[in-house]
Amino acid sequence: MNDRFLRACRREPVDRTPVWFMRQAGRYMAEYQALRKRHTLLELCRTPELAVEVTLQPIKALGFDAAILFSDLLIPLAPLGLPFDFQSGEGPVVEKPIRSRADVEALRRFEPREELGMVLEAIRLLRRELKVPLIGFAGAPFTLATYAIEGGSSKNLALTKGLMYGEPDTWHQLAGLLADVVSDYLRAQVEAGAQAVQLFDSWIGALDEADYREFVLPHVARIFEGLDGLDVPQIHFGTATGHLLGLQREAGGTVVGVDWRTPLDEGWERAGLDVAIQGNLDPTLLFAPRERLLARVDDVLRRAGGRPGHIFNLGHGILPGTPVENVKAVVDHVHEATAR
């Protein structure tokens, strides 16, 4: 069992800096594309054997130190009462986005063991196969709410912020329900075998500190409180969060994820040197010539300074079209450069 990922999350010494990439299972791999020709994205997420196969693809091919369950942030929205689908080239589309208090009141907390059993089954199957730790995950309330309210991806999040500002009670009811759902879901993933969890609050970078503190922090804190007593690392991730890292840390988590806009050493100081740090190569650097790519990997490692508690990752998900050989080169380079 390769446990350097779990050791780094606990800020224990490691033989090599562990590496995994967000969206490491996905479109940049030919193996994945072959499966996608026969199945929709939701079929891959909702069929345990397929989710297992996709999750394992990059572990076998590329040597990552952790696996992340292949799934999608939006999966819990359907049993909550918000069915959605992926339209080709357009991303997710929520059938009936939330626009009112009544829409929020129509949602229901659910039992993940009943409604999302296929995800938990994939976790159980994966644990039999894997020789690296398995990370479970969920979207955080703000990020899930942006999809639920906007109906899909959005540039300005104007509807989301409009609801926050205009009907704060409705917002807090929605975010509180999402916090309960996410907490239940992450706990169920851990009970099924996930050895770490990552909370993706990918879009909070659009908020200033005051809004984060008022509309987001209490709900995220509730999620982490709901995980109390589970002895697994809890990664708290967002993008464009240079100004929010201290507040994210306050909200909770034992590992803070930082994107490439914030130099890793500065991000670690803002999040606190008493948590582990995950990041933070710009995913577009994987399109760069090898020399530039590895120089920037070395810069991340230099900023980590060999201090226990660094998990090497991208600053956001790997992009479609990324050359697989560059991914492999980074994984190998991190391992070689940090061998102790």
When the beta carbons of 17 and 322 are compared against a second copy, the nearer one is 322
CA 88 to chain centre: 22
Give the shortest CB-117-to-a second copy separation in angstroms.
33
When the beta carbons of 293 and 334 are compared against a second copy, the nearer one is 293
185 tagged catalytic: no
Q: How many CB atoms lie within 10 A of CB 30?
A: 10
CA 198 to chain centre: 5
Q: Is 97 in the site for a second copy (CB under 8 A)?
A: no
When the beta carbons of 121 and 214 are compared against a second copy, the nearer one is 214
Q: Is 95 in the site for a second copy (CB under 8 A)?
A: no
Contact 335, 15 (CB under 8 A): no
Q: Is 99 in the site for a second copy (CB under 8 A)?
A: no
Contact 205, 211 (CB under 8 A): no
Stretch of residues binding a second copy (CB under 8 A), selected from 41-49, 53-61, 123-131, 283-291: 283-291
> In the chain, at which residue ranges do the beta strands (DSSP E only) sit?
67-68, 84-87, 91-94, 134-139, 196-200, 234-237, 255-257, 276-281, 310-314
Q: Which of 94, 276, 285, 334 binds a second copy (CB under 8 A)?
A: 285
Give the shortest CB-314-to-a second copy separation in angstroms.
12
DSSP letter for 317, please: P
Ranges within 143-172 binding a second copy (CB under 8 A): 153, 155-158, 161-162, 165-166
Please work out, in degrees rounded to the nearest 5, the angle formed at the alpha carbon of residue 275 by the alpha carbons of 25 and 123: 35
Q: Which of 299, 306, 307, 325 binds a second copy (CB under 8 A)?
A: 299
Select which of 10, 16, 32, 72 is catalytic.
72
When the beta carbons of 47 and 173 are compared against a second copy, the nearer one is 173
Residue 25 in tokens:
């299972």
Task: Report the alpha-carbon distance of residue 309 to residue 51 in Å, rounded.
Answer: 29
72 tagged catalytic: yes
- Count of residues of this chain found to bind a second copy when the rule CB under 8 A is applied: 36
165 tagged catalytic: no
φ/ψ (deg, to 5) at 276 = -80, 160
Q: How many CB atoms lie within 10 A of CB 230?
A: 15
When the beta carbons of 6 and 207 are compared against a second copy, the nearer one is 207
Q: Which of 19, 240, 247, 314 binds a second copy (CB under 8 A)?
A: 240
Q: Which of 18, 48, 233, 283 binds a second copy (CB under 8 A)?
A: 283
Beta bridge partners of 236: 199, 256
Task: Report the alpha-carbon distance of residue 82 to residue 166 in Å, rounded.
Answer: 22
When the beta carbons of 161 and 249 are compared against a second copy, the nearer one is 161
Q: How many CB atoms lie within 10 A of CB 190?
A: 19
Active site residues: 23, 27, 36, 72, 147
Q: Which residues bind a second copy (CB under 8 A)?
A: 153, 155-158, 161-162, 165-166, 205-211, 240, 242-243, 260-263, 282-285, 287-289, 292-293, 296, 299, 319, 321
